[in-house]
Amino acid sequence: METGSANNIEAVADSLKDITLARDGNVAVITLNRPDKLNAWTAAMESSMRVALATCARDNTVRAIVVTGAGRGFCAGADMNLLQKIDADAGDERELAQATRNATLDWDVSLGPDISEHMGGRFGYLPQIPKPIIAAINGPCAGLGMVFALWCDMRVGAENMFFTTAFAKRGLIAEHGISWLLPELAGQAAAMDFLFSSRRVESDEALRVGLLNNVVPSQDLVSETVAYAQQMAQTVSPRSVAVMKAQVWKARFQPLTDAIKTGDDEMQKSFASEDFKEGVEHFVQKRAPNFTGR
């Protein structure tokens, strides 16, 4: 994974709008930063998020990514000013649609099986980032904000958070892949309930149905999520994580026999990696690992 000095976190952080990007050791922390608007999603936020995540994907020193919200909410969904301006005939010319319309993958996606044929739309690039992306959901997570959170690899929620699809209350539909993601995570009956009713799904229910990996006290949300990410950054092979992330996403589109073959092929490749050698040596030598991702 190449890292250019012009592409690291510090070089791009000041150019981002409606989000912030910071480094905490080997973990990048992205914060949706419109707290007065409950971090409602804007075209600038979408473009900046793409830049921030691409930067993290290219930076070898970043091993995991945490995304959270400033203030009392994660994301209230699309900014109402944008929704009010929508022209039904605009199609792909809508402001949000244009934010990453011509964006292309500009990071290394060579590790693991190719999943590009299955990934499209606004957020299909997230599964192709070869690092774990964890949403630390600190409050209301609605509409487009919920869609983004479900595209992340894992979700940790504060006790006071809640999800709501919101679409049916706005005369909209299940957008940007949530009609596929939500049943995959929570099951079809629960997905129908959440989509049709647009009701609030509180943290305890979200954990029970599989939308959250964990629930923690609000004041500890970011620190505990970053600590978990740091543990991964310090103890596991980034190469292994990148390959397994691609395997898991690919397996959703494969029959079992193909998933087994993919695993067998990737296992042979891993035997030739530096991280495999290091994984054995640090265990035998009873020392901390020094994985390089190669």
pLDDT tens-place string over residues 143-152: 999 999 999 9
Mean pLDDT, all residues of the chain: 89
One domain for residues 189 and 79? yes
The answer to whether position 42 is within a domain reads yes
| Mean pLDDT score, 102-129 | 87
Domain membership of residue 262 as a residue range: 237-284
Specify the pLDDT at position 3: 36
Span 172-194, pLDDT tens digits: 887 898 999 999 999 999 999 99
- Give residue 2's pLDDT band: very low, low, confident or very high (50, 70, 90): very low
The whole-number pLDDT of residue 120 equals 84
Percent of the chain with pLDDT over 90: 74
E strand or H helix that includes residue 119: none
pLDDT at 86: 54
Length of the chain, in residues = 294
C-alpha–C-alpha distance, residues 286 and 291, integer Å:
15
Mean pLDDT of 287-291: 90
Q: From CA 60, how far away is CA 8, in angstroms rounded?
A: 9
Look up residue 96 and give its two tokens.
């949000």
Confidence of residue 121 (pLDDT cuts 50, 70, 90): confident
As a whole number of angstroms, the longest Cα–Cα distance in the chain is 65
Q: Which residue, 201, 217, 234, sits at the end of a domain? A: 234
Same domain, 126 and 242: no
Return the minimum-mean-pLDDT range out of 90-99, 123-132, 136-145, 214-223. Answer: 90-99
- Quote the number of domains for the chain: 2
In a domain, 292, yes or no: no
User: What would the mean pLDDT of 51-69 be, rounded to a whole number?
Assistant: 95
Residue 38 sits in the same domain as residue 153: yes
Residue located via tokens 């080997």: 26
pLDDT at 1 over 70: no
Distance of CA 95 to the CA centre of its chain: 22
Residue 104 pLDDT more than 70? no
CATH code, domain carrying 223 = 3.90.226.10
CB 103 within 8 A of CB 125: yes
The listed range with the strongest mean pLDDT (8-17, 43-52, 101-110, 149-158) is 149-158
220 and 244 within one domain:
no
Q: How far is CA 57 from the centre of its chain?
A: 12
